[in-house]
Amino acid sequence: MGHRITRLMYPCLKTGLLVVLVVILPWPAITRGAPQTQPPVPHELVGREDCLACHGTDGLEPVPADHEGRDNNTCLSCHAEPTEVSIETIADEDCLACHGNSDLNVTLPSGEVLSLYVDEEAYATSVHGRELLCAACHRDFKPGVHPAVRAHDLRDFSLAAYAACKQCHPHEYEKTLDSMHALALAGGVREAAVCTDCHGAHDVLDPHQPRQRISQSCAPCHDVVYQDYLESVHGAALYEESNPDVPVCTDCHRVHNVWGPDVPAFRTYSPRLCGHCHADQTLMAKYGLSTAVFRTYVADFHGTSVQLFENQPDTRPNEAVCFDCHGAHDIRPTDDPESSVVRENLLETCRKCHPNATANFPAAWVGHYSPSPEKASPVYYTNLFYIVLTASLIPALMGFVVLDYGRLVLDKIARRGTKK
């Protein structure tokens, strides 16, 4: 028995001695050997899992010589992960050292010359200038990584670059996907506006101030419309009087999910669009304009029909809406002799939809008036006739029916009485 115990004790003691010698005694030295004071990783790690690609001995920023032999898996044992993404490792000065040169450009395969110049002044005064460093938008650029321009032509470059905006402005970006511009882009129209076409790239300014800037953003592509707008009652008030009440492009066409008359629902809802201001009593009172225009339009055949199309947003209403008669971008005051709705021009306006209309025809439209003894009196009196006739005849007929019913019941009761 004793033999057996000593034979078991021996290996146990041997193992214990080994543990004491190898682990416990040198423990302070082990912990000291891996101090937690090493600098944290100064950049984000996503997409940069291969540390030694940059920090290898032949890399851009090689590790210290005593790190030799360590692999990617050991770095994070000592160097803490960054607590927040820091892009400050690439200073704007580094970029501007080259891109501040106004001659810097690259010739694209299409033969077009892409300027790579960034106006430092313009960027500094832009909305981003004080907030964002170059690398915040140009995320392909990392310490030591400077991708080449791959665009085939200038438009290619813009169409790839504007994706940077959605990193910080995802809601606006998503709304643009529901726009006429996105629709055109998907249909192969590469010129269709993307973020930078309206807002600019490095020189992004507050799009709302001054208010004139909003419509100016649309002008480079929609110049004909813009010129019409400048001469319209709305555009003139904005540009000549800085009147903030008048609509700019985006008030009617929306901002990022831009729509227009090619969308059936735009046409259907356009009277409400105009009515938004023109049925507003406080606003219209400032200009002495009638707020009855929306109500009287809906009461008329055109408006009634269009209103009933509201339940079918995908069907294009075939009846006249506000801008068919009044004009859209070139809308003029109704007392302007060139207005499409003054008496002299009305027949021509009617003929846009009713090509065979004759001189009598425009009188079919009673204007934006509710018929009264003074205005459109035949309409007023016809309506009155039917109100009086219906309100007198129908109760009379009902009274007669009730009397008839009552007589039948009374007769029945009377007969019952005689039977008894």
Scanning 77-85, 222-230, 294-302, 320-328 for contacts with other proteins by CB under 8 A, the matching segment is 294-302
Whole-Å CA distances, 248 to 211, 244, 273? 8, 9, 12
Does 412 interact with other proteins (rule: CB under 8 A)?
Answer: yes
In the complex with other proteins, the residue whose CB is nearer, 10 or 381, is 381
Question: Considering the rule CB under 8 A, would residue 279 count as an interface residue with other proteins?
Answer: yes
Return the HEC string of 358-373: CCCHHHHCCCCCCCCC
| Nearest distance in Å: CB 264, other proteins | 12
* Enclosing H/E stretch for 136: helix 134-137
- When the beta carbons of 257 and 370 are compared against other proteins, the nearer one is 370
Which part of the chain contacts other proteins (CB under 8 A), choosing from 69-77, 178-186, 195-203, 296-304?
296-304
Stretch binding other proteins (CB under 8 A), from 35-43, 229-237, 292-300, 334-342: 292-300
Residue type, 63: V
- The footprint of other proteins on this chain (CB under 8 A) covers a number of residues equal to 61
Given 136, 272, 290, 345, the residue binding other proteins (CB under 8 A): 272
Least distance to other proteins from the beta carbon of 304, Å?
Answer: 5
Is residue 398 close enough to count as binding other proteins by CB under 8 A? Answer: yes
Footprint on residues 302-361 left by other proteins (CB under 8 A): 304-305, 307-312, 315, 318, 354, 356-358, 360-361
Cα 102–Cα 103–Cα 107 angle in degrees, nearest 5:
125
Member of 97, 124, 163, 408 binding other proteins (CB under 8 A): 408
Which pairs with CB-CB distance under 8 Å and at least 24 residues apart come from 312-317? 312/268, 313/264, 313/265, 313/268, 314/264, 314/265, 315/264, 315/268, 316/264, 316/267, 316/268, 317/264, 317/267, 317/268
Tell me the closest approach of the beta carbon of residue 357 to other proteins, in angstroms: 5
Between 176 and 349, name the residue whose CB sits nearer to other proteins. 349
At residue 384, φ and ψ (nearest 5 deg) are: -60, -40
Dist. CA 389–CA 394, nearest whole Å = 8
**Quick one: which of 208, 301, 343, 348 contacts other proteins (CB under 8 A)?**
301
Question: Which three-class secondary structure state does DSSP give residue 76?
Answer: helix
How far from 168 is each of 132, 151, 162, 405, CA to CA, in Å? 11, 23, 12, 77
If you count them, how many residues does the chain have? Answer: 420
- CB atoms under 10 Å from CB of 392, counted, come to 10
E strand map for 322-398: none
Taking the complex as a whole, how short is the minimal distance between the CB of residue 211 and other proteins, in angstroms? 22
Q: Would you say 72 or 383 has its CB closer to other proteins?
A: 383
Q: Which of 324, 322, 327, 319 is nearest to 302 (CA)?
A: 319
Q: Determine which residue in the list 283, 298, 328, 342 makes contact with other proteins, applying CB under 8 A.
A: 298
Does 107 sit near other proteins (CB under 8 A)?
A: no
Taking the complex as a whole, the smallest distance from the CB of residue 318 to other proteins amounts, in Å, to 7
In a 3-state reduction of DSSP, which class is residue 107? strand
Read out DSSP for 217-240?
HHTTT-HHHHHHHHHSHHHHHHHH
Residues 163-182 that bind other proteins (CB under 8 A): none
Does position 117 interact with other proteins (CB under 8 A)? The reply is: no
Residues of the shown chain interacting with other proteins in the complex, contacts defined by CB under 8 A: 271-273, 275-276, 279, 294-295, 298-301, 304-305, 307-312, 315, 318, 354, 356-358, 360-366, 371, 376, 378-379, 382-383, 385-387, 389-390, 393-394, 397-398, 400-401, 403-412, 415
